[in-house]
Amino acid sequence: MTIPTADALPGPLTALTEDERLLRNSVREFAEAQIRPLVREMDEHAKIPRSLIDRLFDLGVMGVEIPDAFGGGGGTFFHSVLVVEELSRVDPSVGVLVDVQNTLVINAVLRWGSQELKARLLPALASKQVGAYALSEAGSGSDAFALTTRAREDGDSFVIDGRKLWITNGNEADFFIVFATVNPEAGYRGITAFIVERGMAGFSVGKKEDKLGIRASSTCELLLESCRVPKSAVLGEVGKGYKVAIETLNEGRIGIGAQMLGLAVGALEHTIKYTKERRQFGKSIADFQGVQFQIARAATDIEAARLLIYNAARLRDARQPFLTEAAMCKIFSSEVAERTASLAVNLYGGYGFVKDYPVEKLYRDAKIGQIYEGTSNLQLQTIAKNLMS
């Protein structure tokens, strides 16, 4: 047996290439300078200002994987994951806006869009227009393919009727990937993905939800009332929308893992700083071993979450199977985010419970990680199914 030389060995998962490091640093700098000062106000007003979204476009993070030829960053999925992690370290609401744009919307258009759709949508998504991904309905969440939004063929169009619920970026989006069935009797084989554009007759954005956390991220109802779209608006093939949904969500949940990782990193950074400053019994509370051990455990959790996420993202970029790893990274990171934010509140004491300090918000923001893009039970179902089949 020949022992491989060091440069023939795979690199450590967390070692970043030059490109990755530069991207992470520039997003971190941006988040500190441009997002940090707005976090509290955005949470209170439940809104991300358009001027900040424009700056995200200027930074190049709204079209990470869009090829250069369409005006995007020509990056990898791992690049998107780094961006979402860094933005969420400062504000998980901005993190999810960018995450949905990249890991769901752009991902689906890149993979399933016709040449015509790509030529029309990708330059817009890279430069100024926000996308949203509309699968869920009031009666179908975990059982997503029980959706009832109906698309009827009519000449060279489809006419869509139905309501979508919980749609992230609903307020900001110009394009919506809307899932509807062309044949309810065919079950999941009737599901079809359509591009619906803001301003189309019969389409409107309804009520915005008033939420526990990620309050600045808009979550809206969509109403489709005899909304006519041309046949060229079908994303992928008629009856293959279930594949579009499953395959994008499989990847998207790695992005949610990254959102939760960023949140946990942010919460731990606040905690370390605060515990060094806060004095009780004549010394910093960070000097108590009981506190140090809690911080050490949180840092260990975060490292494990990061390894799961980076591995899932790098597997995806290497076109290797990643389904189980993606489900594991989402469930684990969302639990780590909740635990770390909870510890942060505990170690801030009474100050952790009030809005003048940042960790109360992160504690509220953490909860969503266990709900959207497949609840924790659904992730466990995926992991178990893959193990037992």
Residues identified as active-site: 373
What are the distances in angstroms from CA 77 to CA 63, 256, 307? 11, 13, 16
Asked whether the beta carbons of 298 and 337 are under 8 A apart, the reply is no
- Give least dist CB 386 to ligand FAD, A: 16
CA distances from 73 to 12, 108, 177, 313 (A): 25, 16, 22, 17
CB of 265 to ligand FAD, least distance (A): 21
The minimum distance between CB 4 and ligand FAD, in angstroms, equals 44
Write the DSSP assignment of 199-235 as a string of letters: T-TTEEEEEEP--SS-TTS-EEEEEEEEEEEEGGGEE
Closer to ligand FAD by Cβ: residue 144 or 159: 144
3-state secondary structure of 163: strand
CB of 133 to ligand FAD, least distance (A): 5
Nearer to ligand FAD, 76 or 136 (CB): 136
Q: Which amino acid is at 67?
A: P
Residues engaged in binding ligand FAD (CB under 6 A) = 100, 133-136, 141-142, 166-168, 211, 219, 368, 371-373, 375, 377-378, 381
CA 335 to chain centre: 16
User: Nearer Cβ to ligand FAD, position 118 or 211?
Assistant: 211
Please provide residue 239's backbone torsions phi and psi, each rounded to the nearest 5 degrees. Answer: 85, 0
Residue sitting closest to ligand FAD (CB): 141
**Which H/E stretch holds residue 131?**
strand 131-134
Do 198 and 173 meet the contact criterion of CB atoms below 8 Å apart?
A: yes
Nearer to ligand FAD (CB atom), residue 50 or residue 385: 385
List Cα–Cα distances, 16 to 82, 185, 316, 384, in angstroms.
10, 49, 16, 32
208 versus 240: smaller Cβ distance to ligand FAD: 208
C-beta closer to ligand FAD: residue 30 or 332:
332
CB of 101 to ligand FAD, least distance (A): 11
Nearest to 363 by CA among 346, 376, 377, 388: 346
CB of 144 to ligand FAD, least distance (A): 7
The residues, ordered by sequence, that sit 6+ positions from 356 with a Cβ below 8 Å of its Cβ are none
CA 150, CA 161: separation in Å to the nearest integer? 5
**Minimum distance from CB of 168 to ligand FAD (Å)?**
3
CB distance 224 to 205 below 8 Å? no
DSSP state of 168: E
Q: In the complex with ligand FAD, which residue's Cβ is closer, 209 or 317?
A: 209
Q: How far is it, in rounded angstroms, from Cα 252 to Cα 248? A: 6
